[in-house]
Amino acid sequence: MERLQTPAVAGAGSVAEADSSELEVARTAHEPHDCLHLDPATRADASLRLKSVRGHVEGVIRMLDDPNVYCVDVLKQISAVQGAVRKVSEAVLKAHVRDHVVTAAQRGDSEQIVDELMEALKYRL
């Protein structure tokens, strides 16, 4: 499984924007788990949900373009976006636990997977 490398600061970029040397370092650091990947169903669901989130964020931006927008309305929409992103995070974490953590003892990499899980939990929303 290739671990997601998320920026420490929101809006600071993404793995897609990282240069190839950063991605190579990330891949090299995870060689023991190269065979572990996010399952296709979770990947597809997460992608679909995030595309919906993108549309919702664009709607919030349009709201902000309206000089008469009410602050509480914006806050409600931002909360909805956060909830949707949280659901994606939960689904990816659940898949990781189900597909990788639970089977770590069989692969013989329990300690590494536990360390990785502890690191992943830092990024929980």
User: Which amino acid is residue 36, in one-letter code?
Assistant: L
* pLDDT at res. 41: 95
* pLDDT at res. 81: 97
**CATH topology assigned to domain 37-121:** Methane Monooxygenase Hydroxylase; Chain G, domain 1 (1.20.58)
* pLDDT at res. 80: 96
Question: From CA 41, how far away is CA 95, in angstroms rounded?
Answer: 10
Work out the number of other CB atoms within 10 angstroms of the CB of residue 69.
14
- Domain ranges across the chain: 37-121
* pLDDT at res. 3: 42
pLDDT, averaged in runs of 10, over the chain (125 residues): 38 40 41 69 96 97 97 97 95 89 85 87 78
Instruction: Write down the residue that tokens 């929980």 correspond to.
Output: 124
User: Which amino acid is residue 3, in one-letter code?
Assistant: R
Strands (E), 4-120: none
The pTM of the whole model exceeds 0.75: no
Question: From CA 49, how far away is CA 59, in angstroms rounded?
Answer: 15
* pLDDT at res. 35: 61
